[in-house]
Amino acid sequence: MLSILIPTYNFNSVDLVRSLQQQAEVAEIEYEIIVADDASTCFITENFAINNLKNARFIQLKKNIGRANIRNFLADEAKFKYLLFIDGDAQVYQDKFIENYIQLCKPNCCIVGGVAYQKNINKEFSLRAKYGQKREEKKHYFSAFNLLIDKQLFLQIKFNKNIYHYGYEDFLFGMEVEKISPIKYINNKLIHKGLDKNIVFLNKTEKAIENLWYLYSSHPEIHEKSQLLHTFFILKKWNLSSLVAIIFCFLKSAITANLISKKPSLTLFSFYKIGLLCNIKKEH
């Protein structure tokens, strides 16, 4: 029936597995839970306890293969018809989380359950929390953080195995799914617990935008779906992208100071991202 697939990295996922196991038992379904650790440096001993839980197993990879390839690996390990991908830093807070998905398991299904964020987050995580609350919670946002998909549909597409770096691998996968089957968005959220500190999130954003430009070079159709690329090409059309890159470099330190503060501006964060993209293109 259901293979629950959990990629994890430097996070204790034992409580998550217990919660999912309890709900699967209540639902009285055939299930398995597979946790794959992408060469973590901590919480390895703790996560080995997953092997002691019913219908659950923990696999430790010796080499980091990245966010895209670890999902392909998990899908290959799965034995059931439907795959439920959940990131290892998630937390279940809905009593019928599994049941809500079971009734939607149909051929070619692809269902995004959504993400939620806790309130009153420490100021060190203010940017990631605010972005999640204001952007990811509020709109249809495709992500494999909480995703149910027919295994045969997944195997037709798989995540791009050439993506080793961080960022937009979910975005590209979602685009490929839509070519075959519609994506359904429901309110079956999980809490995202493993937030990055502000400066780490900014560094990841920079890597993600570099990866976006790399993906565009091999998949030019991606600009039709990416609002960031759409904005960039408007600026380029009006010969403004180089000017934006110069302004961004001049203001980067001041913008960064705001973004790592207690009250970061998402408007500035949007400019930060388009400025990064313009700067990357200018350098290339």
User: Tell me: the pLDDT tens digits for 211-225?
Assistant: 999 899 888 989 888
**pLDDT band with cut points at 50, 70 and 90 for residue 283:** low
**pLDDT band with cut points at 50, 70 and 90 for residue 162:** confident
This prediction has a pTM of 0.95
**pLDDT band with cut points at 50, 70 and 90 for residue 154:** very high
Q: Encode pLDDT of 88-136 as tens digits.
A: 999 999 999 999 999 999 999 999 999 999 987 899 999 999 999 999 9
Q: What's the one-letter identity of residue 183?
A: I
Q: With contact defined as beta carbons under 8 Å apart, do 128 and 198 qualify?
A: yes
What is the per-residue pLDDT for 226? 93
Closest CA to 154 of 173, 171, 167: 173
Instruction: Please determine, for residue 9, whether its predicted confidence score (pLDDT) is greater than 80.
Output: yes
Rounded to whole angstroms, what are the CA distances from 221 to 155, 213, 230, 270? 22, 12, 11, 22
Closest CA to 38 of 3, 63, 57: 63
**Residue 162 CB neighbour total at 10 angstroms:** 11
What is the per-residue pLDDT for 159? 96
**pLDDT band with cut points at 50, 70 and 90 for residue 284:** low
Q: Which tokens go with 118?
A: 């806790």
Domains and CATH numbers, the chain: 2-194 (3.90.550.10), 199-283 (no CATH)
Q: With contact defined as beta carbons under 8 Å apart, do 226 and 212 qualify?
A: yes
Helix H or strand E segment including 4: strand 2-8
Q: With contact defined as beta carbons under 8 Å apart, do 164 and 148 qualify?
A: no
Instruction: Please determine, for residue 73, whether its predicted confidence score (pLDDT) is greater than 80.
Output: yes
Instruction: Please determine, for residue 237, whether its predicted confidence score (pLDDT) is greater than 70.
Output: yes
Q: Which tokens go with 61?
A: 């990879």
**If you count them, how many residues does the chain have?**
284
Instruction: Please determine, for residue 173, whether its predicted confidence score (pLDDT) is greater than 90.
Output: yes
The per-type count for the chain, helices as H runs and strands as E runs, is: 11, 10
